[in-house]
């Protein structure tokens, strides 16, 4: 039993660490977007910010998939298989990898005014597609904890609000990316604004995810006397 507890605690620490890294990566992307908006090497700033946001999406997919696995194993009594993971995490992996690739290509000056808006549109789509992951994750956690109906309704309402904000940020990012793609005057500025919006959304999402996992780790530590 001690070995099982130690393994779960190590997994939680790894997942929380991944969510923290995701938040810091998205925060760095947002800072770069701001620097680009004020005119400090805007093309390079947009390219690196795109690369960082792609990496943040990959980190988010890893963290969410790990917590899904743990919670679904608890709810299903250990009968859950990895093939049952939500489709949303797949979108994060695929679009995150694409954003990293497009950011690198733009950084080496391969059609940046086309590739960067395309990357922004893909990032916005990822935010929209994965906006429900937080809600589903929270519902699973409440089910695993056997929370009461009132607690479930309150938590669901709070998390749904955060997911709605992420969806709006995703739609805004897509719209800005499309306008940037067809614009001949403000392509780079609109792209940087879209990157700032998506980076802010990912930073908030990562903060919420890491907070939930660290809270779970603290609760498990407190409920198991004598464990380090």
Q: For residues 146-170, b (16+ Cβ closer than 10 Å) or e, as one string? A: eeeeeebeebeeebeebbeebbebb
Please report whether residue 226 resides in a domain. no
Please report whether residue 225 resides in a domain. no
Q: Is the pLDDT of residue 151 over 70?
A: no
Please report whether residue 221 resides in a domain. no
Please report whether residue 186 resides in a domain. yes
Expressed in angstroms, the distance from the first to the final Cα of the chain is: 14
How many domains is the chain built from? 1
Alpha helices in the chain (DSSP H): 2-37, 42-76, 87-107, 112-129, 133-145, 149-182, 187-222
Neighbours of 125 (CB within 10 A): 17
pLDDT given for residue 184 in this prediction: 76
Please report whether residue 88 resides in a domain. yes
Please report whether residue 188 resides in a domain. yes
The pLDDT tens digits of the residues spanning 53-85 come to: 999 888 777 766 666 666 666 655 544 444 444
The pLDDT tens digits of the residues spanning 86-103 come to: 555 677 788 999 999 999
CA nearest 115: which of 105, 127, 125?
105
CA nearest 28: which of 11, 10, 49, 44?
49
Q: In which domain, by residue range, is 127 found?
A: 2-215
The DSSP 8-state label assigned to residue 223 in this structure reads T
How many percent of the chain have pLDDT more than 90?
38
pLDDT given for residue 65 in this prediction: 66
Please report whether residue 109 resides in a domain. yes
Q: Is the pLDDT of residue 181 over 50?
A: yes
pTM for the full model? Answer: 0.73
pLDDT-derived band at 161, boundaries 50, 70, 90? low
Please report whether residue 134 resides in a domain. yes
């Amino acid at each position: 039993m001690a070995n099982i507890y130690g393994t779960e605690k190590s997994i939680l620490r790894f997942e929380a660490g991944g969510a923290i890294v995701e938040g810091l990566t998205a925060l760095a992307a947002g800072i770069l977007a701001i620097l680009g908006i004020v005119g400090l090497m805007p093309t390079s700033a947009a390219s690196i910010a795109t690369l960082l946001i792609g990496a943040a999406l990959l980190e988010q997919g890893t963290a969410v998939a790990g917590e899904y696995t743990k919670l679904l194993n608890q709810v299903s009594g250990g009968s859950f298989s990895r093939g049952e993971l939500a489709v949303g995490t797949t979108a994060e992996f695929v679009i995150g990898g694409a954003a990293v690739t497009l950011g690198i290509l733009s950084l080496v000056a391969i059609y940046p005014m086309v590739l960067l808006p395309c990357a922004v549109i893909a990032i916005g789509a990822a935010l929209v597609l994965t906006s429900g992951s937080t809600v589903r994750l929270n519902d699973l956690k409440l089910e695993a904890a056997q929370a009461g109906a009132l607690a479930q309704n309150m938590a669901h309402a709070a998390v749904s609000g955060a997911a709605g904000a992420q969806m709006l940020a995703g739609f805004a990012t897509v719209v800005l990316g499309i306008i940037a793609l067809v614009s001949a005057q403000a392509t780079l500025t609109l792209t940087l604004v879209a990157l700032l919006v998506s980076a802010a959304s990912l930073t908030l999402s990562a903060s919420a995810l890491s907070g939930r996992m660290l809270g779970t780790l603290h609760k498990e530590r407190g409920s198991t006397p004598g464990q380090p």
